Structure 1
Amino acid sequence: MKFPKVVNAYCPRCNAYTEHTVSIYSHGKRRNLAEGQRRYLRKLKGYGSSRKPKQKRFAKTTKVVVLKLQCRQCGYVIMKPLGRLKKVELTEVR
């Protein structure tokens, strides 16, 4: 799916339709000091292997694509999920 890099969308902070820059959202790095991550790493230690069994059959072949729209005037960010797509391409505006 092709999506423009700049789109006109509603900004709740500006209370108007403004230009937004579009980028594809990607999650950040995992925090090693978070409680759940520390618990997971603690369970991995010792003679046992991994905490949960390795998955053998993968049913899903795509990931949910989320677009990040950032207002050019105030910098407010809107997340817009597109759903499951094989390929997303950001194109220039003509």
Structure 2
Amino acid sequence: MPHTAEWRVRLHLFEDDDGTTKAHVVLDTGTTALTAHGTAHCHPADADVAEIGDELAAGRGLRSIAQQLLDIAERDIEGMGSSRPGPRQVTERSSPR
């Protein structure tokens, strides 16, 4: 049975006066909205490069969303009476060679 879905991700980045970059991530599936946050701090000895802070904060926020999705999928699988998947079962499948 074919299935198509579109999920929307909103990612907002903010930098504080103290050099802390914060990311606020919202994943909207149409039926559920997941939110997460990520932060990055510039070490005082490092050059303040805004792009790096954005990348770190966004990556950490997105990683949190990914973990939430995996946790939800595991609970859904268990709710259907199936056994809890191992790490390999939840990861992406590799394409056939």
Pairwise same-fold verdict (TM > 0.5)? no
Structure 1 length as normaliser, TM-score? 0.29
- Name the structure with the higher helix share: 2
Larger Rg: 1
